A and B are shown apart, each in its own frame.
Chain A
Amino acid sequence: MSDNHILKNLESGTRFDGRKLLEYRKIEIKFDVSVNAEGAARVILGDTEVLAGVKVEMGTPYPDIPEEGVLMVGAELLPMSNPDFESGPPSIHAIELARVVDRGIRESKCVDFKKLCITPNEKVWTVCLDLVPVNDDGDLLDAFGLAGLAALKTMKFPKVDGDKIDYHEKTSAGIELRNLPIPVTVCKIDKYFIVDPSNEEEPAIEARLTVTSLEDGSLCALQKGGDKPLTSEDISTMVDIAIEKGKELRRVFESATKHR
């Protein structure tokens, strides 16, 4: 019943919480998460709150790319954040979230994997980015996208003594992100497009398209979700929205991470 009811709101240009259709909730990016992580960030998007943390290890490179470090992105949908999440191994939703965020980071080449090499063919950094929600009020993917970038941008490598890592001592060297891939999830309800759906709106969503874009408007990740199909006009509209919103989110990100 709420599914039809939301159309009345959308027709008049608003959503259940009074936002405009393409309006994001208030975004905060904080760095008060974990002093034990090499890098960590908290993103609060309306009532959605997520954490991202980076831990590094030393390992051997993949044989086909002997001079490049390794990045692993994982997500765990903690049952604390949503009564419908269950304990156990990562659900398919957690896996999808992690892989979409991963593709944005990897395909944009924002991380120079060659700089993660310590000794070619022998030793490289393995960077583990872990994403968890604290409170799920919708749009986890976009929140994770920002949190992951914030954690990566502000991380610092620990001191290395030969083969041993001293996690208690941080160096001043980090990963310099060469660009900022920002995922934006655009959702379709009937003939309307919205961004940043809250929990209340999620059941009404018929199809969604996550588009990760860069400053120059190029696209580095795509993921269609939802049960209903999209036309190519839909996709064209949604991509435009995502690029536009991506620019907005990038500004928020840059000002929040300015002095770090």
Chain B
Amino acid sequence: MTETKVKENEIVVPGEEIVSGMGYLPAYGTYRDGEMIRANKLGIVHVDGRAIKLVPLSGNYLPKRGDVMIGKVIDVTYSGWIVDTNSAYRAMLGLKEATSDFIRKGADLTKYFNFGDYLVAKILNVTSQNLIDLTMDGPGLRKLDTGRIIRVNPNKVPRIIGKEGSMVSMIKAETNCRITVGQNGVIWVSGNPKEELIAVSMIRKIERESHISGLTERIKAEIENAKKGESQ
């Protein structure tokens, strides 16, 4: 007889009992301890059929194949660039994946991407040893020009982007800022100073309140207020 101890959408902590009974399956963020399914992360419970999983509330970025992320060039080698991914693991961008130009052997690679440049790149592959390969070949992938870089909790990225991009599109439209959100929690914002500030504070607000419903309406109202305040 399965007896649910914890309801869906509740916040649980490592070791906490979620539900007892063999009818459920422990999925991401949970594990089975005899009859009991327990949390092994700090997160929100999500029941998906018979699977119990957690939506984590924190945790550093774990690179995944297919993710579009924003990385910073931290080294230039003879065969490519080494990119910081805002995670425990660095990534490699090889010559072939960086540009369709023909690059001569021994050419100065910093002409393409230099130390400190921020790139929007896609993760081609992550090996079992967490070696990461990037590509710049794809829509929207590019070197970023002038703007502001902020780092957010990568677990909040889905909320910041919104369903089919609705949240970030709304912020872009309301603040006239260009915004690119990396799956690794690195975000680029570019606009004029006052509106940039509004965009950034909205992103931070979503980061803080992501687990509360009704967020989209609240953010929209906040932006209206902020813009009114600016024009006074």
A contacting B, Cβ–Cβ less than 8 Å? yes
Residues of A within 8 A of B (CB): 1-2, 4-5, 8-9, 12, 14, 16-18, 200
Does A1 lie within 8 Å of B147, measured CB to CB?
Answer: yes
Given contacts A1-B116, A1-B117, A1-B118, contact A18 B148 (CB under 8 A): no
Pick the interface stretch among B13-21, B90-98, B101-109, B191-199: B191-199
Contacts of A16 in B (CB 8 A): 148, 197, 200
Cβ contacts A to B, 13 pairs, < 8 Å:
A2-B149, A4-B146, A5-B147, A5-B190, A8-B192, A9-B193, A12-B192, A12-B193, A12-B194, A14-B193, A16-B200, A18-B197, A200-B150
Q: How far is the CA of A12 from the CA of B116 in the complex (A)?
A: 25
Q: Which 8 A-B pairs have the closest CB atoms?
A: A9-B193, A5-B146, A12-B193, A18-B197, A4-B146, A14-B193, A1-B146, A5-B148
Kindly state whether residue B217 has any CB partner on chain A within 8 Å: no
Closest chain A residue, CB of each to CB of B116: A1
Proximity string of chain B (139-176) to chain A, C-beta cutoff 8 Å, 1 when within and 0 when not: 00000111111100000000000000000000000000
Contacts of B192 in A (CB 8 A): 8, 12
Proximity string of chain B (109-146) to chain A, C-beta cutoff 8 Å, 1 when within and 0 when not: 00000001110000000000000000000000000111
Grouping DSSP codes into helix (H, G, I), strand (E, B) and loop, the B interface class, with mixed when no group exceeds half, is mixed
Contacts of A200 in B (CB 8 A): 150
Closest chain B residue, CB of each to CB of A10: B193
* Contact of A17 (CB < 8 Å), options: B118, B190, B197: B197
Q: How far is the CB of A9 from chain B (nearest CB, A)?
A: 4
Q: How far is the CB of B64 from chain A (nearest CB, A)?
A: 23
Contacts of A18 in B (CB 8 A): 197
Q: How far is the CA of A17 from the CA of B150 in the complex (A)?
A: 12
Interface centre among A1, A9, A12 (most CB of B within 10 A): A1
Contacts of A9 in B (CB 8 A): 193, 196
Q: How far is the CB of B120 from chain A (nearest CB, A)?
A: 13
Contacts of B197 in A (CB 8 A): 14, 16-18
Q: How far is the CA of A18 from the CA of B230 in the complex (A)?
A: 11
Contacts of A12 in B (CB 8 A): 192-194
Contacts of B196 in A (CB 8 A): 9
Contacts of B148 in A (CB 8 A): 2, 5, 16
Closest chain A residue, CB of each to CB of B197: A18
Q: How far is the CA of A2 from the CA of B149 in the complex (A)?
A: 7
Contacts of B117 in A (CB 8 A): 1
Contacts of A5 in B (CB 8 A): 146-148, 190
Q: How far is the CA of A5 from the CA of B190 in the complex (A)?
A: 9
Q: How far is the CB of B134 from chain A (nearest CB, A)?
A: 19
* Contact of B194 (CB < 8 Å), options: A2, A4, A14, A17: A14
Q: How far is the CA of A210 from the CA of B192 in the complex (A)?
A: 31
Does A1 lie within 8 Å of B194, measured CB to CB?
Answer: no
Contacts of B194 in A (CB 8 A): 12, 14
Proximity string of chain B (178-207) to chain A, C-beta cutoff 8 Å, 1 when within and 0 when not: 000000000000101110110010000000
Q: How far is the CB of A67 from chain B (nearest CB, A)?
A: 55
Closest chain A residue, CB of each to CB of B146: A5
Does A1 lie within 8 Å of B193, measured CB to CB?
Answer: no
Q: How far is the CA of A150 from the CA of B50 in the complex (A)?
A: 59
Closest chain A residue, CB of each to CB of B118: A1
Q: How far is the CB of A165 from chain B (nearest CB, A)?
A: 45
Contacts of B145 in A (CB 8 A): 1
* Contact of A8 (CB < 8 Å), options: B118, B144, B150, B193: B193
Contacts of B190 in A (CB 8 A): 5
